[in-house]
Structure 1
Amino acid sequence: MTDFVINTVPFSVLVSSRSQALHTAVSQLYPPQLVLAPEPEKIYDFCLTVERKWAGWGRPYHVSAGQQHFRMTDSAQVVPVFEWGFNWCIASYQHQYLAIHAAVLERHGKALIMPAPPGSGKSTLCAAMMLEGWRLLSDEMCLVDLTDGSIVPCVRPVSLKNQSLKLVQSWYPSAQIRQITTGTTKGTVGYLLPLADSWQARGQTATAAWVVFPQYNVNQTQLQLSPISKADAFMHLANNSFNYAVLAEHGFNSLGRLTQQIQAYRLEYADIKQALSELSQLC
């Protein structure tokens, strides 16, 4: 087995795998100081196993956490399935934070939270904002500290899909996109590396200030940024949370405090440059 640890903040994952290619790929996506050898007596937040269950190179890899099976994959798609498995662990098994499916970026200590379902353009907009100078906290998880309400970073590569890969690379030729995989259940997937300042400040929390629900619409003739009520924001955030119901009273109180301190908007756009300009003025 090839065992290694990805030590992101605030989580660490122990990876047990028979795929040396996975270790090589992960080393291209994360800084060397975050990909480490395991320590025998140390306890890690998650353990992901990526291995073939039966003999033979044609057999699929099984991705699992303990006794919980996540997904099977062939060797060509092991990297995106591993990253999705990491997301699954955070969404399913951690409850020290309120977790919301959202991109999070920071400027001057204040966080912009962008919850959205797949296909909304969230990751494309998140990538562009990071490359325009915002600090990336996460492309997938908004983690809210249950004690003080601060937004906790979970910095990892930004997952881009299909046309977004070409668009981001054309807008920002110096952007580092790695491990492009075709033919997945989500189409073609690649990973944009966070900029150095995002990695370096991965332990620095932020104060929630804005929540924007983005929706890309190719037929949108004019950008629309519309304020929404705190009550509507609360309900939409709850619907986008992975563990709001599990946290029960703690989840309700945490989300209530969050919605009281933010301004909330709905953003519909077709032109990424207009969206960036509007968000820059808003924030």
Structure 2
Amino acid sequence: MADLVLHTAPFSVSVQTRCRKLHAALAELYPPALLATPDKQQLYDFSLTVQRKWSGCWRPFHVSAGQQHFRMTDPAQLLPVFEWGLNWCIASYQHQYLAIHAAVLERGGKALIMPAPPGAGKSTLCAALMLQGWRLLSDEMCLVNLENGAIVPFVRPVSLKNQSLQLIQSWYPAAQVRQITAGTTKGTVGYLLPSEISWQGYRQVATAAWVIFPQYNAAQTELLLSQVTQADAFMHLANNSFNYAVLAEQGFSCLAALTRQVTAYRLEYADINQALAELGRLC
């Protein structure tokens, strides 16, 4: 079993591994055109090594990037750890884009950006919007072009966890959820395959139009939508950015331009259908 390259656009990732389980998992999650064998004449954006730390088929796998150790894991949880390791590499080392922890979707050329901390319902809402016809740009990372403010796609399977995983499977029985793994540090994790239009447009940029700060609250009796000032939106986006401080003045200028360009709202909801209807009306 040879090493492989994952062309996620805008990044290419060299994966040094002989693990058949990881090869099979990535082949199930990504289109064949995005997977290739490494070319020694090419340079890749990132390199991840996935190998057993010590000899023996019962030994754990070691996931690392260069000299940076990420995590040890048993074979059953290798895919989630690999995906988290890839997220960590990009969040830590890429600085050609302003990177914000957010889900991003597009409709009519306009992008909806949803920054949120874990547990806010971001991935659930993102998955539902994609399954309702929006084009997925990313579930994890909003990449903003520093020169022109365009939102750059980073299409990968949507990571769903625990209750979110169960809800999407119950609401959309035909949804293609793959590689469900129980017992991880984040609970049960599964991956929703991007829609066909999302894969087809995996290099097509969008123009930022809306920012929604979502918050799921099961005790909420009615949906609440309130507009957020530019100053508050700027601060929340900066707090959710991976590299705002690293980019310094360039990051400030890019984020300020993005904030002026969008209309920002705070959305609190308990009923996903109400949230989808409200976002459909708003956007």
Query: Under TM normalisation by the shorter chain, which class is it?
Result: over 0.9
Map Cα deviations across residues 103-130 of structure 1 (whole Å, 9 max, x no partner): 0000000000000000000000000000
Q: By how many angstroms is 1:60 displaced?
A: 1.2
1:198-233 deviation digits (Å, cap 9, x = unpaired):
001011000000000000000000000110100000
State the one-letter code of the partner of 1:129.
Answer: L
Q: How many residues align?
A: 283
Alpha-carbon contact 1:2-1:20 (below 8 Å) kept: no
Counterparts of 2:159 and 2:80, CA distance in 1:
9
What is the CA–CA distance in structure 1 between the aligned matches of 2:62 and 2:176, rounded to whole Å?
29
How many Å apart are 1:58 and its aligned residue? 2.1
C-alpha distance in 2 between matches for 1:182 and 1:257: 42
Partner of 1:183: 183
1:178 Cα deviation from its structure 2 partner: 0.3
**Counterpart residue identity of residue 253, structure 1:** S
Match of 1:14 in 2: 14
Distance in 1 between residues matched to 2:163 and 2:57, nearest whole Å: 32
1:128-156 deviation digits (Å, cap 9, x = unpaired): 00000000000000000000000000000
**Deviation for aligned residue 1:18:** 2.6
Q: How far, CA to CA, are the matches of 1:277 and 1:2 in structure 2?
A: 47
Structure 1 match to 2:279: 279
* Structure 1 outlier segments of 4+, above 4 Å: none
What is the SS of the residue equivalent to 1:2? coil
- Map 1:227-242; keep pairs closer than 5 Å: 227-242=227-242
Cα offset, 1:55, TM superposition: 1.1
Higher mean C-alpha displacement, 205-214 vs 50-59? 50-59
- Mapped to 1, the partners of 2:53 and 2:159 lie a distance apart of 28
CA distance in structure 1 between the partners assigned to 2:54 and 2:262 by the alignment = 52
Partner of 2:75: 75
Given residue 14 of structure 1, which amino acid in structure 2 is its aligned partner? S
The CA distance in 2 between the partners of 1:164 and 1:244, in whole Å, is: 29
What SS does the aligned partner of 2:3 have?
Answer: strand
Stretch deviating more after TM superposition (123-132 or 12-21): 12-21
What is aligned with 1:95? Answer: 95
C-alpha displacement at 1:83, in angstroms? Answer: 0.5
Residue 193 of structure 1 is matched in structure 2 by 193
Query: Which amino acid is the alignment partner of residue 219 of structure 1?
Result: A
- Which amino acid in structure 2 is aligned with residue 230 of structure 1? Q
Provide, for residues 22-63 of structure 1, a one-character-per-residue CA deviation record: whole Å limited to 9, x for no partner. 011000000000011111110000000001121122221111
Map 1:18-37 onto structure 2 (within 5 A): 18-37=18-37
CA distance in 1, matches of 2:123, 2:2: 31
Question: Which residue is 2:131 aligned to?
Answer: 131
How far off its partner does 1:102 sit? 0.1
Q: Name the Cα RMSD after superposition.
A: 0.7
With the length of structure 2 as denominator, give the TM-score of the two structures.
0.99
